Amino acid sequence: MTKQNLQPAYDGNLTSQQATESVQKDEIDLRELFAVIWQGKWLIIAITAVFSIGAVIFAINQPNIYKSEALLTPADTEQGGGLAALAGQFGGLASMAGINLGGGGGVDKTQMAIEVMKSRQFISDFIQKHSILPDLMAAKTWDMVSNTINYDDELYNVSDKKWLRIVDAPFKAKPSMQEAYKEFSKIFAVNSAKDTGMVTVYIEHLSPQVAQQWVNWLVADINTEMKQRDVAEAEKSIEFLKTQIQQTNIADIRSVLYKLIEEQAKTIMFAEVRDEYVFKTIDPALIPEEKAKPKRALICLLGLILGGILSVMLVLIRSFFKK
């Protein structure tokens, strides 16, 4: 009984002693850690200084990027167009006449216009229409005094208007529209607010004037594009309805068809008299006076932090291998 009672007390003393030794070891490890860092302080300072100076040089050499944006609101347009709109308004009458006008679900014109603006075809046509490929792919710096763009001589010859890029096949000296689309997508964005429905379009560029001009062109071109699409669809609808009129002699059916043609004529007239067909400009794009990026102070701070972390790790690893 005596031995059994003494055994737990002995184990308890041993456990307490081990805990004390563990705490002492932790204190020793922390002291050794700080001692190693202190011994390598000059290496840490040197590496951190190199990273900091490199970050400062990198930040200074980055050109200013200016951001111009416009705030738009959806225009008061019908949901859907052409035969789709007709199906919603006169689907029942057309069915009685034996004419199938398709589904009447309709499409949100605003969302369609946003997706068209993001599409490869629209952006490619935009670049070619306004001849902005050099400003997009070869611009190097912007001179504020003369308000001119300086181009990279290794990429583009301004006087001869000739591309000088040296690239591997299948790429060519003159950038393709696929390359241009990728580059344009980096500086362009169009977003729609879910709560208000407002649409924001912005462009980032070396030149603030170019950024503002491109935003204005984008808004005008998307309105024109959507207008032309609806007019073309309405004209096709009118041709279809005229063909149906010629194929029937029933007065009631012809009356329905003429009513459908009248609606399509209204669509064409509405499109022709309004320039802001899909989007109305609430806040037009301005020439920005302040740069949007780079954040030079943040770059320098990140360089300082990165240099400090890497230098401390290097000192600790070197000490570990020495032991």
Residues 202 and 234 in one domain: yes
- 234 by Cβ neighbours in 10 Å (0-12 / 13-18 / 19+) ranks as buried
Non-local (6+) Cβ contacts of 306 within 8 A are 51, 55
Domain of residue 304 covers: 20-61+298-322
3-state DSSP percent of the chain in helix, strand and coil, to 5: 60, 15, 25
Considering the entire predicted model, what is its pTM?
0.75
**Structural domain includes residue 240:** yes
Tally of domains in the chain: 2
Residue 235 shares a structural domain with residue 310: no
Q: Does 5 reside within a domain?
A: no
| pLDDT score at 245 | 83
pLDDT for the residue numbered 212: 96
Backbone angles phi, psi at 129, to 5 degrees: -65, -45
Is residue 211 located within the same domain as residue 172?
yes
Q: Which amino acid is at 185?
A: S
Q: Are residues 56 and 73 in the same domain?
A: no
Do residues 160 and 268 share a domain?
yes
Residue 169 has φ and ψ, to the nearest 5°, of -65, 145
* 40 and 187 together in one domain: no
E-strand ranges in 211-317 read: 279-283
pLDDT in tens, the chain (323 residues): 444 444 444 454 546 555 555 555 555 577 888 888 888 889 999 999 999 999 999 999 999 999 999 999 998 654 444 445 555 555 555 555 445 554 444 567 888 999 999 999 999 999 999 999 999 999 999 998 888 999 999 999 999 899 999 888 888 999 999 999 999 999 999 998 888 889 999 999 999 999 999 999 999 999 999 999 988 888 888 888 888 888 878 777 778 888 888 888 888 888 888 888 899 999 999 999 999 988 999 999 999 999 999 999 998 888 888 77
The answer as to whether 82 is a domain residue is yes
Position 57 in a domain: yes
Are 74 and 173 in the same domain?
yes
Q: Is residue 190 part of a domain?
A: yes
Residues 199 and 73 in one domain: yes
Does 73 lie in the same domain as 55? no
